[in-house]
Structure 1
Amino acid sequence: LINVDNHLGPEMKSTGEVLGVAGTLEEALYKGLIGAGYKMRKRDGVFITVRNSDKAEIGEIAKKYYDLGFRIYATEGTADVLKKYGIDAVSVKKIHESKTNNTLTLIESGKIQYVISTSAKGRIPSRDSVKIRRKTVERNIPCLTSLDTANALADCLKSHYSQHSTELIDINHMREEKLMLKFTKMQGIGNDYIYCSTFDQEISNPEALAVRLSDRHFGIGGDGIILVCPSKVADAKMKMYNLDGSEGK
């Protein structure tokens, strides 16, 4: 639709829902965002422009993206706020301030992976905020119009989850109770791993389990997990999974 603002109102935010089921909030959010079409890229830049009422909250959220290694771009007023949080934000001119170097040309440059825009919703096509959000649709760039969503996305990007380390759950056969996992944690010369035997227990998704258990704040804590598995040529064999869910080589 031409000249229509893609900023969603409350009545439309619950339309087209996706479901993410997991053992942790971060993994469930990751699944939900992937299901909604997000590519979950962790490179290049994030462009931020927020209304005055959101400037008190945007600093902590932007800091998460900055700490992940994203280059932060912002309109002048937002950039001034972000610099107070130690964020070296690149100030970008508004559309009417420059014809060759402004927010639209930045979005068209290919440097931006995410746009956070909470400027007031409106039906006036000439507004900068409407033009920016329209341009993100044309360029297929995720445009976050809510600080809650922007914060949730940052937390998911910060986690070690990926499409290869999330557990596939059949909602038709979900467990009614939690399973008891037998493990032993061992450490040596600065490395610590969580050992699990598969001789007497089944571990269906070691990639997701490695991410969850290796978390030193909310899991057991470690550099990864090691599965002790049956072998046809020896007493046992081991499979190692790093804390990001990737299999050790």
Structure 2
Amino acid sequence: IGQGIEFDYCCCHAAFAMEDLGIESIMVNCNPETVSTDYDTSDRLYFEPLTIEHVFEIIHVEQSAGELAGVIVQFGGQTPLKLAGPLFKEQVPILGTSPESIDLAEDREQFAALLDKLNIQQAPSRTARSVEEAEVKANEIGYPVMLRPSFVLGGRAMEIARNDEDLRKFAAEALKVSGDASLFIDRYLADAIEVDVDAICDGKTVHVAGIMEHIEEAGVHSGDSACALPPFTLSADLQKRLGEQAAQLAMALNVRGLINIQFAVKDNEIYVLEANPRASRTVPFVAKAVGAPIAGIAAKVMAGEALSGFDLSNARPRRIAIKEAVFPFARFPGVDPQLGPEMRSTGEVMGWDDDFGMAFLKSQLGGGVRLPDEGTVFISVRDSDKKGAEEAARGLAQLGFTLLATSGTADHLESKGIPVKRVNKVLEGQPHIVDAMINGEVQLVFNTTEGAASLSDSASIRRTAVARKIPYFTTLAASLAAVKAIASMKSQEISVRALQSA
């Protein structure tokens, strides 16, 4: 798949924006499944691969026919973004954010230095260029650590390493795929809330388009995580601070157009994870949730228009919008559907309502997940989630569900006075949890794990859930959201509202 639908949306809006400004638009795209390759989207379409040779030839041909105002590389995701440097070297004008700024944000070492200068917090980090160096640096920071290669697509080869053995295994692969053979290692902020901020900057002012709170914790790729706009647990003060830091970064990086910044919030402290001075895959979602053509406005800003010329006073979230990722696991038998830092989703849907539970329910329905309104729920959670799992278990018991749990989780829930039936883990022998799932005795699965041993131990549970179409959640936050959704489903009718009148 050459390009995600979210970036296709941005490219189309950029072409329409150029038409508004009376500028001829030329689209280069090699994916036949997109709207941007429709004959009436742009003035001219080149159906060619996105390599520097092909793009440079196209520019050469077009320059002979008239003046080239510039090239937009920031709207098609990571692949065209990598062309910015080579095109710039050949004196091709790049519209919007300059290649130096793109490099500054992508090069994790330079970016860490910029954050220090701005006095913005980040998780302790180091850069390594070999497996041996990575091991030394990881021990300096302290495990668990996140390994992030530079200049990669969709979080490719990003991994969480919990010990030296993990690190050696993952670092070699990560160094292989890294665009500049370097590896960024930072402390993994366990149980932090991840937040995505999209903003538009014209060099003088910054408009924060949307602050999205992820429902999965930091460490799950942002393309795979469900998220809510407006945020559902962050205080107004925290949201204000997030907006201020996003604006500071956009100005420091000399952004012209869109920027996406990922933050982690832990114990009321804000840490910057990364910044991408380009359109992110959340732009279409934000545009719909706030009712403003964010991508089109950003394209006009890149072409030289001032932000002050657009009325963004009403561009605010009008209800609770939830974005949920859609996964292809059912098409790949035997794949473990556990979420992590490498992106695995192939699409997304949006649920919209006045009530968080109902919005989450709609997002699940849109993604093909039908939550049960009665039956048995299997709960097996890691130690750090046991306290949080009480709330989910109590809520489900009150809604009339039967609870099933493995020994550790069952002991904890019983000690809190929550009634629960016990079931064997797979390794404890039959009849075990997978048998119960195959026999149709389980209608919903909450399963969170950590550590390599328990991950592989519980993989058969998650695989069976996918194969049997049993709704399953692999993070505590998503499990709690599912309980709210079931409560909303049982207490009210699902309502439908037209997007235009919303």
Distance in 2, matches of 1:90 and 1:79, equals: 7
Matches within 5 A, 1:49-60: 49-60=380-391
Computed over aligned residues only, the root mean square deviation of the Cα atoms, in angstroms, reads 2.5
Higher alpha-carbon Rg: 2
Query: Which of 127, 140, 146 is the equivalent residue of 2:475?
Result: 146
Q: Which amino acid counterpart does residue 133 of structure 1 have in structure 2? A: R
Q: SS of the counterpart of 1:40?
A: coil
Equivalent-residue separation in structure 1 for 2:451 and 2:368 (angstroms): 23
TM-score (norm 2): 0.32
The CA distance in 2 between the partners of 1:134 and 1:59, in whole Å, is 25
Alignment map for 1:86-165 (pairs within 5 Å): 86-99=417-430, 101-120=431-450, 127-160=456-489, 165=493
Checking the alignment, whether the CA contact within 8 Å between 1:4 and 1:125 is kept in structure 2 is: no
In 1, Cα distance between equivalents of 2:363 and 2:490: 12
Distance 1:160 1:102, change over 3 A: closer
Q: Does the CA contact (< 8 Å) of 1:3 and 1:125 recur in 2?
A: no
Structure 2 CA distance, aligned partners of 1:45 and 1:161? 16
Residue 393 of structure 2 is aligned to residue 62 of structure 1 = yes
Q: For the structure 1 residues 161 and 45, does the alpha-carbon distance in structure 2 shift closer, same or farther, using more than 3 Å as the test?
A: closer
Q: RCO (CA 8 Å, sep 6+): is it higher in 1 or 2?
A: 1
**2:361 paired residue number:** 30
Give secondary structure in 2 for the equivalent of 1:19.
Answer: strand
Which residue matches 2:404? Answer: 73
> Could you list the per-position Cα deviations for residues 116-138 of structure 1 after superposition, in whole angstroms to 9, with x for gaps in the alignment?
1111375x899321111111111
CA contact (8 A) 2:399 2:487 kept: yes
CA contact (8 A) 1:29 1:152 kept: yes
Aligned to 1:174: 501
Cα distance change, pair 16–160 in 1 and its aligned pair in 2 (3 A): same
2:333 and 2:467 in contact (8 A); partners too: no
What residue is the counterpart of 2:100 in the other structure?
A: none
Q: Could you tell me how far apart the structure 2 residues matched to 1:105 and 1:50 are?
A: 19
Q: 1:84 to 1:108 in 2, by over 3 A?
A: same
* Identical-residue share of aligned pairs (%): 35
Q: Is the 8 A contact 1:30 1:161 kept in 2?
A: no
CA 1:25/1:14 → structure 2, altered by over 3 Å: closer, same or farther? Answer: farther
Alpha-carbon distance in 2 for matches of 1:35, 1:58 = 26
Match of 1:16 among 338, 344, 347: 347
What TM-score do the two structures reach when normalised by structure 1? 0.62
**Match of 1:165, as an amino acid?**
E
TM-aligned CA deviation for residue 165 of structure 1: 2.5
3-state SS of 1:168 partner: coil
Alpha-carbon distance in 2 for matches of 1:49, 1:110: 18
Tell me the amino acid that sits aligned with residue 471 of structure 2. P
Structure 1: runs of 5 or more not aligned = 176-249
Contact map agreement 1:47 1:112 (CA 8 A) in 2 = yes
> In the alignment, which residue of structure 1 is the partner of 2:183?
none
| Unpaired stretches in structure 2, ≥5 consecutive residues | 1-331
Distance 1:10 1:110 in 2: 32
